[in-house]
Structure 1
Amino acid sequence: MFLKHVPSGDLVEVIDLPDVINPGSPTVRARAHTGEIIQRPENFLKTELAFPSGEALPQCWSDAHYYEHAAA
């Protein structure tokens, strides 16, 4: 899965997909795709990631208390 790192505008390839949908994990292990050299995996904050189209990640992927807020 590819996501966009909003501050840099680069695409990142997600390595650990379960981290993306786990609301308890604030970071995602991914590899930046910049240039022709394969980059080393690093942790990216979910708050700085979006879908390649620019759409934000679903709130339920980053907020463990999403359902409590939705019910209020």
Structure 2
Amino acid sequence: MFVKDTQSQTLIQVLDPSELFNPVHDQVLGRQQAGEEEQPPQAFPKSQLQFPSGEALPQCWIDPDYQLK
């Protein structure tokens, strides 16, 4: 699955989508898709990620207390 980093505007390949869907995790492990060579995995904060279309990630993926609000 791919998401976009809002700061660098590059695509990020999420290595384990379950980390992205789990609101308890505030970071995901992914590879930045910049250049021709595959980049090493690194942690990206979910607060800086969005869908490639520019839409924000759903609150149920980010906030573990989303149902209490």
The aligned amino acid for 2:62 is S
The aligned amino acid for 1:11 is L
Percent of counterpart pairs with the same letter?
A: 45
Q: Pick the structure with greater CA Rg.
A: 1
RMSD: 0.4
What's the offset of the Cα at 1:29? 0.5
Q: Report runs of 4+ in structure 1 exceeding 3 Å deviation.
A: none
**What number of residue pairs does the alignment pair up?**
69
- Structure 1 length normalisation: TM-score? 0.94
State the match for 1:14 in structure 2.
Answer: 14
1:45-60 paired onto structure 2 within 5 Å: 45-60=45-60
What's the offset of the Cα at 1:9? 0.2
The aligned amino acid for 1:64 is P
Q: Can you give the 5+ residue segments of structure 2 that lack an aligned partner in the other structure?
A: none
1:1-72 paired onto structure 2 within 5 Å: 1-69=1-69
